[in-house]
Amino acid sequence: MRASNAPTATCPYSGATLPAPSSGETTDQFAAEASPVAGTGVEAPVADWVTIPDLYENPFPIYQRMRSESPVHWVPAVNRYMVTSHAACHEIEQDEVRFSADENNSLMKRSMGHSMLRKDNPEHQVDRDSYGSTLRPGTIKKHWNEIFASNHEQYLGELLAKGPSADFVWDYAAPYTAENLRLICGFHNASQEDMQRWSQTMIDGTGNYADDADIWAKSAASSAEVDAAIDEMLPYLAKNPDHSLLSGLASMPIPLEAIRANLKMTIGGGLNEPRDVLATTVWALLNNPEQLEAVKNDPKLHAVAFEESVRWVAPIGMYPRETTQDVVLEGVHLPAGSRLGVVLGAANRDPKVFEDPEEFNIFRPKKPHLGFGGGVHFCAGTWIARAQVAQIAMPAIFDRIPDLRLDPSAASVDAGWVFRGMTKMPVTWG
């Protein structure tokens, strides 16, 4: 195993330091190992040229080179094998026997507890089933759409009041999606600002490879706040049920520990992604006027633009898995216990599947992207994300601010690779 605890690189989200090979494990040694293993595939090539800052700034040229060389590389800077081809990522998603989600020494488990996302079946399914029908299309149609529309009216109003210039992400997309998630979860005792703070600090914990005490302290403080909020809401919701996750969980025989972990994972995973896909889609449309015009003329295309955006810039760009046995993945040998990064951001731009994959193009032929994952961990919030972004927010934004444009005096910034989205998006109108 090429593993080490020596910290040497920077985490994309927290700015923390990530482990890389320990002294003595030179990249040349890795390269020397990249030779065929009889009957069991070849060793993964070593991508010692990949750095975390480069990935963070713009991973896509890196992914292009990696995919053209091999579907899998050992990447010292992230101390993982990075899997970049569509076929290899898809194979992992469909096979939880060989590729476990229950990663050893998972920082996510330390930060948020052992959620369904880091469990294999049968344990995973028990947790997943405990979410009941809250996130399903029927409940969204009957219940959530109206609430999302009302939240949208509020936060679009706040954006307009701030105008004629504002930041699309922080003045609108973030509070809107955080408020939706607050109600979906059932945190009637918290604010959307709490949701944003909890989400970011616990995500920072999941990336805290350098063991930074300050990051752990903030993550632990949020975790304790979430525990307290859950403890308060469960008895209340048992008596006053609603459509939220916590309300359903209040009457389920699920251990409190699992409820807490699953809610923390959902706070971490259900807020940034809709926020990021909303901003990325609008940014892409504003940069492609003919596609924007088509969307404005045919509201059905909002859903198409949303899906193309999730393909083009996967909001969850990479997630971990661990091999349970020696495997050969697309011809590459991986020893048992290998830590893998399933790089959806790269798989979704694989030219073997998508023509001109680097282009945002709502008119491309429909092909299955991997932006929502796949297999047993396929995103449970897919329909919620589609509803709040493509059905509610996007049509209203272009209807109410028909002359919305990117502010020519201030550049937008997109960043990240584990999570990727707009970190700054100044817009103007009027």
Q: How many residues bind ligand HEM (CB under 6 A)?
A: 26
Segment interacting with ligand HEM, rule: CB under 6 A, options 64-72, 168-176, 286-294, 311-319? 311-319
Determine, following the binding rule CB under 6 A, whether residue 379 of this chain makes contact with ligand HEM: yes
Cβ-in-10-Å burial (0-12, 13-18, 19+) of 35 comes to exposed
Site for ligand HEM in 122-181 (CB under 6 A): 128, 135, 181
Shortest approach of ligand HEM to residue 414 CB, angstroms? 15
Determine, following the binding rule CB under 6 A, whether residue 266 of this chain makes contact with ligand HEM: yes
How far is residue 393 from each of residues 64, 115, 142, 155, measured CA to CA in Å? 33, 30, 18, 10
Shortest approach of ligand HEM to residue 428 CB, angstroms? 26
Q: Would strands 339-342 and 80-83 be described as parallel, antiparallel, or unpaired?
A: parallel
CA distance 137 to 144: 9
Site for ligand HEM in 274-293 (CB under 6 A): 274, 277
Within 8 A by CB and 6+ apart from 302, the residues are 295, 390, 391, 394, 395
Segment interacting with ligand HEM, rule: CB under 6 A, options 48-56, 283-291, 312-320, 398-406? 312-320
* Token pair in block for residue 221: 């403080």
Shortest approach of ligand HEM to residue 127 CB, angstroms? 8
Within 8 A by CB and 6+ apart from 166, the residues are 159, 172, 426, 427
Q: Would strands 339-342 and 421-424 be described as parallel, antiparallel, or unpaired?
A: unpaired
Determine, following the binding rule CB under 6 A, whether residue 263 of this chain makes contact with ligand HEM: no
Shortest approach of ligand HEM to residue 176 CB, angstroms? 12
Binding mask 337-376 for ligand HEM (x = CB under 6 A): ----------------------------------xxx---
Binding mask 382-421 for ligand HEM (x = CB under 6 A): --xx------------------------------------
Closer to ligand HEM at the Cβ: 135 or 166? 135
Contact present, 150 and 393 (Cβ < 8 Å): no
CA distance 197 to 261: 17
Closer to ligand HEM at the Cβ: 7 or 375? 375
Within 8 A by CB and 6+ apart from 189, the residues are 229, 232, 233
Name the CA dihedral angle for 200, 10, 45, 337, rounded to a multiple of 10 degrees: -60
The contact set with ligand HEM (CB under 6 A) reads 101, 116-117, 128, 135, 181, 184, 266, 269-270, 273-274, 277, 310, 315-316, 319, 371-373, 377, 379-381, 384-385
